[in-house]
A and B are shown apart, each in its own frame.
Chain A
Amino acid sequence: MIWYLFVPLAPYLLWLLWAAAFHPLPLTYNWRSIWQRWAGTLSTVGAIAIVVMVFVVVLSMAQGVSKAYVRSGRDDQVIIMRQNARVEMMSSLSLAQARLILTHPLIARDGVGPLATEDIIVSKQVALADGSGAMSVTVRGTTPAGIRMRSQVRMLQGRWFIPGLSEAVVPQKMLNRYTGVELGRSFAMAGRSWKVVGIFDGDGSVYDSEIWTEVGDLRQAFRRYGNDSSMAVRLRSAADVPSFIRDMEQDVRLKLEAKPEPAYFADLGDAGRPMQVLGQIITLILTVGAVFAAMNTMYATVAGRTPEIGTLRALGFRRREILASFQWEAILLTALGGLAGAGLSLLFNGIRTGTVNMNTWSDVSYAFSVTPDLMAQGVGFSILMGIAGGFLPAWRASRIPVTEAMRS
């Protein structure tokens, strides 16, 4: 994204690279000059570091949200819902439809049986651990096949639920944010008491935000006989997905909507989108401010080194060499801030928190995901700031008449 901003600058950048390569004024000269006026340098580096850090951290949140969803799907699995349902929670399937789907020949089997699960999705208010209230959490009633199909889910502590006993399992990652759902405790839902018998890990997938229980128990508790939410199936191969989907949509007895899991989760992953847009707008605005600050510092540098520029010019350095030298100095300065900001943002990497998915209106847990790509984008931004903030001062430096420069 931000790399496109470099495209119109390409000729100038190439020229700068060329100038650096065949430069009579080495970059070490600029490096030392940067530290000559260290107070100005540190203030600019600090301000730019903060801007870059804000950029990387906000985008790492957005990235973290979509990552939770990307991790959840498999290419060869399909989610089947009522038409227009969009999310599992809003969907409903009849018993007859479910039976019919199960007979489809493309559905894969393992040693135990067909890899297909009918799930019921409801939501429940769970108290936040910090005492600030409660949030809507997804509760999924599922089947043994459902557990086998979601291979990223691993039992860490305790055991899976036994049908008929109103038992539930809770993701480990939910425990530091919520209370009342710890192993061994019971919570109330739909007029029953549910006991937490196991703690599982969803490997960063969306299942890390769901409480799981047995579908039959949930069906009884919510009196949803013959009215499950959705079905997920695994097919023999990913290549079978299009034809299976066609069957689901066109069979007159079904008329259902089927989506490959990756597509379904990608849609849900849009929850991180507003954050991403907000992050980008904020960064754009802040970048403008940072450019002014960098410009200030560079003008001060040029002013402070005017006699030196005069001397260099008197020695035979040309205007364009002065321009390149100061432009490089500005880029060095801001890139230093960019690197510092990217480094600082690493402090946030892996912090786990939650937000609300506006599609499902329930909590999704995610971790800040500071990737090398995001950090590179942050540094890229800082280089742009250096080019924008350094050009005018560098241009001015290259235009100072020799005699005037020597005099001051």
Chain B
Amino acid sequence: MRFLTLVLRSLFRSKRRTFLTVLSLSVSVFLIALLQSLLGTMDALTTSTGSGTRFVVQDKASFTNVIPQAYTNFLRQQPEVERFTVLQWFGGEYKDPKNFFANFGVDPESYLQVYREEANLPSIPLEQVRDFLRDGNGCMVGRALADKFGWKVGDVVPLKSSIFNLTVRLNIRIIFAGLRKSDEMVLAFNIKQLQEAVPWMKGRVGAITVRAKNPADIPRLCERIDHHFANSAQETLSITENAFNLNMMKLLGDYSTMVHSISAAVLVAILIVTANTMAMAIRERTTQISTMRALGFRSGQILSLLMAEGLLLSLLGSGLGIALAMGVASAAAKVAGQIIPWMADFIITPETLLLCVLITLALGLLSTFIPAYRASRRPITEGLRAL
């Protein structure tokens, strides 16, 4: 500790150089933290609250295909099933195709039960629930979504489907406050409207979401269901909701590869930059280091002092970068969360923070070790001569 002054002052001996290096470092760490957290946030969404007990039954060929609603008859007979609901992605647009948000046709009563955690069912006023179940044109929306468009309970929302040649006019009956912002960016209405208006949707649904009594039963259930429909016209694919989400995430897998590769490349770049700074800082201090050694400092002490300086430099850079990333992330969650639902939950994830700590250590140690080691082992007489 008694050497802290020396380390700190040495670090800021060339203020401009240290400042520029810190900025360079922080910009890079900022980028890595942001990109990694983006991936992490998207990843976290695949494990939603109630999703551990749910699985989805869909068409085996593609989840964009529809399956007969009659398939639910088989599900009803399975003792492990607690509840199920049917869904159809509506792809509805409100006023402008740019106003994208998730909207489904659902079976209202069972939907509320199956997704009771996400919709925070106990918090919804009973009369709102009653109105939603009674009104065939009713719909429920999340608070964040309602805020975005300024909707209130009782408003009429026209939705034009991009999939079906259909526009529905829905009365808002429930505005729910979900556990997470991203759970609130959704609209659900009675699937009957869709099935009555579109001939080929009659008796068909996009997917069936099933809630099992015990999560441990899910693999067995999935297997039994798929086996049962294996010889019918439309085979099914039952996957846990997490796996379903993962499948969607897999689609974004390229992005994760890209982000990791870019992070690695950026790390190499900042390592080079930091190492150069430290090499410069140490080279111009050759005489000073030799003098200190003549005074009786041991090589190991010199090495630790220099390493501490390198660590401090990288700590400053990454600290600033992470702070910057946290600021930008919370701003992005507020602004972009309005447009892209999952962005509302955007944070710098703990995993990213841990990664940044590791990066800081690695950068500080790797960038400094070689020049510091050489300087600490250099013959004293040689260093004193190099003026």
Interface residues of A (CB under 8 A from B): 39-40, 43-44, 46-47, 50-51, 53-54, 58, 61, 82-86, 89-90, 92, 122-125, 132-133, 135-136, 139, 189-191, 222-223, 227, 275, 278, 282, 285-286, 288-290, 292-293, 295-297, 299-300, 353-356, 361-362
Contact = CB atoms under 8 A, between A and B. Distances in A.
Most chain B Cβ neighbours within 10 Å, of A43, A58, A190, A222? A43
Contacts, number: 141
Contacts of B255: 275, 278
A100 to B, nearest CB: 18
14 contacts: A46-B268, A53-B265, A84-B161, A84-B163, A135-B251, A286-B28, A288-B23, A295-B20, A299-B17, A300-B280, A353-B254, A355-B251, A361-B62, A361-B64
Interface of B: 16-17, 20-21, 23-25, 27-28, 30-31, 35, 60-65, 160-163, 165, 200, 231-235, 237, 247, 250-255, 258, 262, 265-266, 268-270, 272-273, 275-277, 279-280
A61 B27 contact: no
B356 to A, nearest CB: 15
B64 A133 contact: no
B251 A361 contact: yes
B200 A92 contact: yes
B225 to A, nearest CB: 16
B260 to A, nearest CB: 12
Given A82-B165, A125-B237, A292-B24, A40 B61 contact: no
Contacts of A92: 200
Main SS class of interface, B? helix
A289 B270 contact: yes
A303 to B, nearest CB: 9
A123 B62 contact: yes
Contacts of B272: 43, 46-47
Contacts of A132: 250, 253
A54 B24 CA distance: 17
Nearest to B258: A58
A296 B20 contact: yes
Contact of B27 (A133, A190, A285): A285
B16 A46 contact: no
B227 to A, nearest CB: 14
B266 A286 contact: yes
Among all A-B residue pairs, the 10 with the closest Cβ atoms: A43-B276, A356-B251, A123-B62, A289-B27, A292-B24, A50-B269, A47-B269, A296-B20, A293-B273, A355-B254
A286 B27 contact: yes
B165 A189 contact: no
B55 to A, nearest CB: 16
Contact of A90 (B23, B163, B253, B279): B163
B62 A46 contact: no
Given A39-B279, A285-B30, A289-B27, A58 B252 contact: no
B273 A47 contact: yes
B27 A292 contact: yes
Contacts of B237: 125
Contacts of A297: 276
A288 B273 contact: no
Contacts of A295: 20
A90 B61 CA distance: 14
Contacts of A356: 251-252, 254
Nearest to A89: B64
B323 to A, nearest CB: 15
A296 B277 contact: yes
A90 B64 CA distance: 8
